[in-house]
Amino acid sequence: MPTHSSVPVAAPFRKLGMPRYHLMIMLGLAAVLSVAPFLLYPILMIKILCFALFACSVNLLLGYAGLLSFGHAAYFGMSSYVAAHAAKVWGLSPELAILCGVGIAVLLGCIFGALAIRRQGIYFAMVTLAFAQMVYFFALQAPFTGGEDGIQKVPRGALFGLIPLADDKTLYWFVLVVFFACLLALYRIIHSPFGQVLKAIRDNEARAVSLGYRVNQYKFIAFVLSAALAGVAGGTKAIVFQLATLTDVYWTMSGEVVLMTLIGGMYTFFGPIVGAALVVLMQNYLASVGDWVTVIQGLVFVACVLLFREGIVGFIASKLKRPL
């Protein structure tokens, strides 16, 4: 399998360590996403972008560190609550509100991450799920979250206090910039020496230990980075939809995002984006069938695990014989 070092790299992007075909995909993605709001409902596109970030955060752990977190709703949801609270009650501008959300996600990620990495495999998944459920109960009882009602009518405010975000198109461009900034940062992290060590841990933890790597420190940092990214997604979502509710912290959300990663391809960089787009579109077009959405999602889960484990992008990557 060709590694990216053997592929000719466009000079300005050598620092990013991005092979040309990845660059083409990024540019293609940017082009499609720039045209999309003129063809599709911008709010739907923003929803896709937020969930794509969220799915990427899960995939940083699952795909690159081999850790299945079944509790990422905790970071997504709490960030969404704190961002909504900061924007509505403290009157902060949207970028600061989102930063507050990311702050709480990082804090939670530090606490739960430090504890969860003490167990491996399925225990790790159960521990993260249990902690997320604890956060859910907290959100259910804490006064500032508004219980069953959630935090509604969050003001979108003005970016840096200058650019009002009330218009959906303006908002879309803002989210698109956030999305690409995070995506490039994530790309850099995954293709850095740090990312290589993560993959080594994923493939054979004992070997990484014997090579002298402090495996737990790497896992911990990956966990916190992943929680932070989930926080960006959650905070942005709260500002865009002007709403933070219990749905965002509930375990079904954690499951949904794992499904997105799985459909897209969990060992690929671009897979979660595709998966998120598909799941969000599916929910959007199946909204009329009510509870059947849950059944269909469950069936997709089962079918993916049995028949299509590599996911869509993973399948394409194996056909092209290139990592995507």
Partner 1 sequence: MFDLLGIPPQVLFSQLLLGLINGAFYAMLSLGLAVIFGLLNIVNFAHGALYMMGAFGAWMLLNYLGIGYWWALLLSPLMVGLFGVLIERLLLRWLYDLDHLYGMILTFGLALVITGLFRNFYGATGMPYTLPPLLTGGHNLGFMFLPNSRAFVIASSLIVCLSTWFVIERTRLGSYLRAATENPALTEAFGINVSLLVTMTYGFGVALAGFAGVLAAPIYSVNPTMGSDLIIVVFAVVVIGGMGSILGSIITGFSLGIVEGLTKVFWPEASATVIFVIMAIVLMAKPAGLFGRSS
Binding mask 11-50 for partner 1 (x = CB under 8 A): ----------------------------------------
Closest CA to 46 of 169, 181, 230, 183: 169
Q: Which of 89, 134, 181, 286 binds partner 1 (CB under 8 A)?
A: 134
Q: How far is the CB of 180 from partner 1 (least distance, A)?
A: 30
**Can you tell me the distance from the alpha carbon of 75 to that of 52, in angstroms, rounded to the nearest whole number?**
15
Binding mask 273-312 for partner 1 (x = CB under 8 A): -----------------xxxxxx-xxxxxx-xxx--x---
Strand partners, 159: 163
Decide whether 285 or 292 has the Cβ nearer to partner 1.
292
What phi and psi values does residue 158 have, to the nearest 5 degrees? -125, 130
**Can you tell me the distance from the alpha carbon of 211 to that of 221, in angstroms, rounded to the nearest whole number?**
19
Decide whether 194 or 301 has the Cβ nearer to partner 1.
301
Q: How far is the CB of 323 from partner 1 (least distance, A)?
A: 19
What's the CA angle centered on 214, arms 210 and 219, to 5 degrees?
A: 120
Binding mask 249-268 for partner 1 (x = CB under 8 A): --x---x--x---x------
Size of the site for partner 1 (CB under 8 A): 42
Decide whether 66 or 235 has the Cβ nearer to partner 1.
66
Q: How far is the CB of 83 from partner 1 (least distance, A)?
A: 23
Q: Taking the alpha carbons of 157, 165, 107, 188 in that order, is the dihedral positive or negative?
A: negative
Decide whether 125 or 224 has the Cβ nearer to partner 1.
125
In one-letter notation, the amino acid at residue 130 is: A
Closest CA to 23 of 270, 233, 317: 270
Q: Are 25 and 270 in contact (CB under 8 A)?
A: yes
Q: Which of 2, 32, 89, 118 binds partner 1 (CB under 8 A)?
A: 118
Q: Which of 141, 287, 288, 321 binds partner 1 (CB under 8 A)?
A: 141
Q: Which of 18, 125, 229, 240 binds partner 1 (CB under 8 A)?
A: 125
Q: Are 51 and 76 in contact (CB under 8 A)?
A: no
Q: Residue 147 interacts with partner 1 (CB under 8 A)?
A: no
Q: How far is the CB of 140 from partner 1 (least distance, A)?
A: 8
And the tokens for 258?
Answer: 């794992």
Decide whether 129 or 159 has the Cβ nearer to partner 1.
129
Q: Are 165 and 173 in contact (CB under 8 A)?
A: no
Which strand (E) or helix (H) includes residue 154?
none
Closest CA to 222 of 134, 297, 309, 124: 124
Helix ranges, the chain (H): 20-39, 42-65, 73-88, 94-116, 121-141, 168-190, 193-203, 205-210, 215-241, 251-264, 271-285, 292-307, 311-320
Q: Which of 137, 144, 160, 285 binds partner 1 (CB under 8 A)?
A: 137
Decide whether 62 or 238 has the Cβ nearer to partner 1.
62
Residues at the site binding partner 1, with contacts judged by CB under 8 A: 68, 70, 115-116, 118-123, 125-127, 129-131, 133-134, 137-138, 140-141, 251, 255, 258, 262, 290-295, 297-302, 304-306, 309
